[in-house]
Structure 1
Amino acid sequence: MESLYLLIPIAIVFVIIAVVIFFWAVRSDQFEDLERQGMNILLDEDKPKRDKDDDGA
């Protein structure tokens, strides 16, 4: 029972820290455009590099 007097305030502090980090992430636009990074790999149109030693044969 005495351990609850220690664990409950620690849990409340963790919740407050998590909420602060969440609002910081929202305010700093960390959740903007979540789809773009996932689509970049599908839309990659880079041409392969050719070596200088390659004579094309």
Structure 2
Amino acid sequence: MSIIYVLIPLAILLVALAIGIFFWAVRSNQFQDLERQGYSILFDDDLAESKQPVKTEKTEAASGITSNPNKHD
């Protein structure tokens, strides 16, 4: 029975902490743009392509890759 004296204040503390975190999230505009994450799933391939380094003629020549496979040097 003495454990109840520990559990009730602990539960009140956890609820107060959860409410505090919720109000912090609302004040810091965490819920303003709810659609962005849904769209990021659809368009993440475009982002991955734009982050790849652009190959130049020098990097292609250094790696041995040619843009025209029928061209022989």
TM-score range, shorter chain: 0.7 to 0.9
What TM-score comes out, normalization by structure 2 length?
A: 0.61
Runs of 4+ in 1 over 6 A off after TM superposition: none
Taking every aligned residue pair, what percent have the same amino acid on both sides?
A: 51
Of Structure 1 and Structure 2, the greater helix share is in: 2
Stretches of structure 2 that go unaligned for 5 or more consecutive residues are none
Q: Report the number of matched residues.
A: 57
Higher Rg of the two aligned structures: 2
What TM-score comes out, normalization by structure 1 length?
A: 0.74
Stretches of structure 1 that go unaligned for 5 or more consecutive residues are none
CA RMSD in angstroms comes to 2.3
Relative contact order (alpha carbons < 8 A, sep ≥ 6): 1 or 2 greater?
A: 1
